């Protein structure tokens, strides 16, 4: 039982570290987009999606729970960015934002242990 608790705590700490790194990368990327106006249209969205999906992969490797919500968001940002880069008119981002809002409204939180 104690080993299981330690493993769960280690996963929680790993997840928090991965989240902190991803948020740091997100803010650096947003700052770079604002600072360097020559960044091509679409690369900003693509980079955000890559950061989100990279965080999901890191969580998967660390054995931490990966949220389906963030996988969907990351994929949408990558596709929207690629669509902009290649001048393909895809209304992915507005549609995805609406779908994600609806999913959040109807999402049920999983019950937590010990409480």
Q: 53-96, pLDDT tens digit by residue?
A: 999 999 999 999 998 888 988 998 898 889 888 988 777 767 77
The full set of domain ranges for the chain reads 2-106
Kindly give the interhelix angle for 43-62 and 2-35, rounded to the nearest 10 degrees.
Answer: 170
pTM score over 0.85: no
Determine the Cα–Cα distance for residues 54 and 114; give it in Å rounded to an integer.
31
What is the model's pLDDT at position 53?
97
Determine the Cα–Cα distance for residues 65 and 87; give it in Å rounded to an integer.
35
Determine the Cα–Cα distance for residues 111 and 51; give it in Å rounded to an integer.
28
pLDDT-above-90 percentage for the chain? 39
Determine the Cα–Cα distance for residues 15 and 21; give it in Å rounded to an integer.
10
Are 91 and 83 a contacting pair, CB within 8 Å?
Answer: no
């Amino acid at each position: 039982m104690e080993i299981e608790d330690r493993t769960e705590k280690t996963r929680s700490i790993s997840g928090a570290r991965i989240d902190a790194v991803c948020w740091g990368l997100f803010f650096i990327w947003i700052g770079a987009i604002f600072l360097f106006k020559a960044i091509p249209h679409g690369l900003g969205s693509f980079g955000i999606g890559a950061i989100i999906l990279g965080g999901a992969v890191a969580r998967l490797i660390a054995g931490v729970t990966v949220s389906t919500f963030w996988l969907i968001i990351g994929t949408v940002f990558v596709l929207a960015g690629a669509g902009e880069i290649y001048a393909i008119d895809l209304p992915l981002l507005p549609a995805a934002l609406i779908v994600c809002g609806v999913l959040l409204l109807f999402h049920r939180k999983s019950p937590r242990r010990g409480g």
